[in-house]
């Protein structure tokens, strides 16, 4: 994150000086105002880096656009300030430099709400085929998809709760408590995701097993089910204990909260890779049996 914080100094000067003030008086007024706006750790960075920046305290354009200065300020603030003070500094500089205020908070509930509604429609249509008179009873493929739908309800609700806490907005505009709430609900959503994903895959596999019974494909299907369960269990618990203590997953921004976390980026890539492999296996499983049906390609 770039900290164009010195713009606040210039803005403070512009708001407080008069035409009769000298440059020295303007700089002093700006510095006094900065002490009210910024945490002490950020002021240390200012006093160290401003004199060598080539910008005057009253040149807003220079302060906001000097890339070298802002890069050095970013490093200094992130090293010398806790996370909350760094966010306060970023928020002040972004506001005074006139950076656009981004708000994408409509997207998460829209995607979650529409996606869940469409899935629910197809889910109901599927269950209708098992109603009395249609000649089919509920099977394991139906029960697992029912479990899948139930498990997707909490993440769908979380999409709205996350937005209430600031998801979709620049995090430096949010109180620390809101950021922690976003991280906590996201953490819980991950756990439900792995369980729902496993139920979805198992439903497809149970369906294939119901269609292609009493042959070698059935054995391959059961083996694949074992792989799905192993994958779900492994990454569910890896996610649950990605940080220790567990609540460090959402409280890690607090300076007083001690803990450690795994490499969650590596964990995410590994999860995606295994997930793709399992999807490919499930898609390939019935291809040979479909080929043996000798149906025209159009069908």
For 41, counting Cβ atoms within 10 Å of its Cβ (0-12 exposed, 13-18 middle, 19+ buried), the class is middle
Question: Cα–Cα distance between 71 and 4 in angstroms, integer?
Answer: 9
Q: How far apart are CA 123 and CA 205, in angstroms?
A: 17
* CA pair distance 25, 43, nearest whole angstrom: 19
Q: State how far the Cα of 35 lies from the Cα of 256, in Å rounded to an integer.
A: 24
Strand pairing category for 260-261 and 243-244:
antiparallel
SS3 for the chain is CCCCCHHHHHHHHHHHCCCCCCHHHHHHHHHHHHHHHCCHHHHHHHHHHHHHCCCCCCCHHHHHHCHHHHHHHHHHHHHHCCHHHHHHHHHHHHHHCCCCCCECCCHHHHHHHHHHHHHHHHHHHHHHCCCCCCCCCCCHHHHHHHHHHHHHHHHHHHHHHHHHCCCCECHHHCCHHHHHHHHHHHHHHHHHHHHHHHHHHHHHHHHHHHHCCCCHHHHHHHHHHHHHHHHHHHHHHHHHCCEECCCHHHHCCCCCCCCEECCHHHHHHHHHHHHHHHHHHHHHCCHHHHHHCCCCCCC
Is 23 a known ligand-binding residue?
A: no
- Known binding residues for heme are 59
- Known binding residues are 59
């Amino acid at each position: 994150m770039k900290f164009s914080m010195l713009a606040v100094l210039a803005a403070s000067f512009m708001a407080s000086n008069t035409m009769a003030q000298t440059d020295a008086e303007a700089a002093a007024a700006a510095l006094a105002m900065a002490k009210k706006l910024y945490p002490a750790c950020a002021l240390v960075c200012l006093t160290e880096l401003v004199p060598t920046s080539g910008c005057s305290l009253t040149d807003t354009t220079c302060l906001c656009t000097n890339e070298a200065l802002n890069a050095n300020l970013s490093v200094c603030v992130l090293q010398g300030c806790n996370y909350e003070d760094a966010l306060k500094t970023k928020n002040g500089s972004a506001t005074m430099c006139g950076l656009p205020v981004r708000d994408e908070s409509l997207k998460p509930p829209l995607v979650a709400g529409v996606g869940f509604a469409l899935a629910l429609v197809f889910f109901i249509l599927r269950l209708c085929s098992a109603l009395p008179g249609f000649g089919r009873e509920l099977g394991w493929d139906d029960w697992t998809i029912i479990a899948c739908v139930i498990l997707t309800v909490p993440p769908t609700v979380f999409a709205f709760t996350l937005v209430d806490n600031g998801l979709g907005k620049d995090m430096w505009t949010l109180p620390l408590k809101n950021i922690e709430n976003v991280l906590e609900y996201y953490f819980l959503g991950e756990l439900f995701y792995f369980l729902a994903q496993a139920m979805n895959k198992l439903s497809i596999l149970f369906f294939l097993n119901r269609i292609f019974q009493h042959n070698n494909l059935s054995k391959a299907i059961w083996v694949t089910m074992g792989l799905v369960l192993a994958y779900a269990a492994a990454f569910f618990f890896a996610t649950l204990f990605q940080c220790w203590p567990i609540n460090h997953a959402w409280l890690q921004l607090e300076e007083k909260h001690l803990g450690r976390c795994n490499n969650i980026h590596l964990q995410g890539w590994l999860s995606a890779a295994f997930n793709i492999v399992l999807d490919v296996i499930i898609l390939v499983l019935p291809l040979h049996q479909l080929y043996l049906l000798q149906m025209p390609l159009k069908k």
